[in-house]
Amino acid sequence: MSEKWLYWFEEISSGHNELVGKKCANLGEMTRLGMRIPPGFAISVDGYERFMAETGAGEDIRRYVEQHLDDLKSIKNQVKASETIRNIVESKKMPDGMREELFQYYDDLKKLAGGGEIAVAVRSSGAVSMPGQMETYLNVRGREAVVHKVIQVWGSAFTTRAISFRLEKGMAVEKAPIGVAVLKMVEAKAAGVVLTVQPTTGDMSKVVVEGNWGLGESVVSGEINPDLFVVDKNNGCVECTLNQKTKMVVYNDSGTITTDVPLEIQNKACLDSEELNEIVRIAKEVESYFQSPQDMEWVLDCSMCCPDNLYWVQARPAKYIKAKENESEYLAELMTRIFEI
């Protein structure tokens, strides 16, 4: 186990998946590419392992799983195991040495962000991709709150969905080391996702942008019908579907809340043409760099003007239906499926 367990995004890259998890590694790579990423740092898998070892949580979890492994085939018992294990993790105090190092990085992050108190996002970063199975905490303010949320993110490696996933894949239930990203939050005017492929058809000539007012969680969660922009990569033609956006996610005193979108902007596009063009331009460059279609998350800072208001908080390979090159290919695949039945 390495003594170093905290890394600025500038220190890591896409080759560090096993060290800090995929989300942190991607944020590091994006930083190296010169993209506008909110300042932040990564807590490595070694940090998780050190916490589990020094607090005894790892041994407590191992004993519990050893005693109940045969019972974990039922969802009911998986739910109970999740509650028990997360309580084990979250009942532990972060060791003093780790606590002081984390405080120092948080204080340095505040300086990087211009001084004064800041809001940060504390996001899970698994080495194995398990979207939506672990927790993210937004609008976290202050040293103690950051420590508390980091421990909760570590505990979220044992959500019911995460336990079920590991059982299904034949992975060890008790061992689930993850990284954590801690990054400054953007005062969001609007946010959303961009895919450099049409996911339902596999059309590589299109860029798909979805967005809503406020933070991007309303778009990622599927809670609302966002604005939809489909842009042709070759000629820049835009097909636009503006939906009535009645709800948005915004900051509150501790965390975030879902609130009503002001009536006067419910039917207004959350992106203007300059902002849309900048999102598409950068997404295409990232696709070219990685040589594969990308699924990216963007956010617009309400206090700045385009292009300086555009920040990126995620980039990963896109999931999409592979387009069939011709009818013969489709028929060949169909026959293969028939003979496999």
C-alpha triplet 300, 303, 309: angle, nearest 5°: 35
Distance CA 230, CA 242 (A): 12
- Does the structure show a pLDDT above 80 at 254? no
User: What value does the mean pLDDT take over residues 45-73?
Assistant: 95
| Mean pLDDT on 121-135 | 79
Specify whether the CB–CB gap between 175 and 185 falls below 8 A: no
Q: Is pLDDT of 220 > 90? A: no
pLDDT at 329 over 90: no
Tell me: the pLDDT tens digits for 67-105? Answer: 999 899 899 999 999 999 999 999 999 999 999 999 999
Q: Phi then psi for 117, rounded to 5 degrees?
A: -70, 145
The number of CA neighbours under 13 Å toward the Cβ of 227 is 23
pLDDT in the model for residue 116? 82
Going by C-alpha positions, the residue among 205, 258, 260, 199 that lies closest to residue 228 is 199
Confidence band of 339 (pLDDT split at 50, 70, 90): very low
Architecture of domain 6-184: 2-Layer Sandwich (3.30)
The continuous run of DSSP H or E covering 277 comes out as helix 273-290
How sure is the predictor about 330, in pLDDT bands with cuts at 50, 70 and 90? Answer: very low
* pLDDT of 322 higher than 80: no
CATH topology of domain 188-317: D-amino Acid Aminotransferase; Chain A, domain 1 (3.30.470)
pLDDT band at residue 53, thresholds of 50, 70 and 90? very high
Q: What is the mean pLDDT of residues 53-79?
A: 95
User: Residue 338: what pLDDT?
Assistant: 46
Per the prediction, the chain carries an average pLDDT of: 91
Q: What is the pTM of this model?
A: 0.87
Q: Name the percent of the chain lying above pLDDT 70.
A: 92
pLDDT score at 324: 56
Q: Is the pLDDT of residue 15 over 50?
A: yes
Whether 238 shows a pLDDT value over 60: the answer reads yes
Computed on alpha carbons and rounded to an integer, the radius of gyration of the chain in Å comes to: 21
Q: Which helix (H) or strand (E) holds 31?
A: helix 22-32
Helix/strand number for the chain, H first, E second:
11, 13
**Residue spans per domain, the chain:** 6-184, 188-317
List strands edge to edge, sheet with 294-301.
238-241, 227-232, 206-213, 188-195, 294-301, 310-317
Looking at the DSSP bridge assignments, the partners of residue 188 are 301
Q: Evaluate if residue 327 carries a pLDDT over 90.
A: no
Least confident span in 198-212, 213-227, 313-327: 313-327
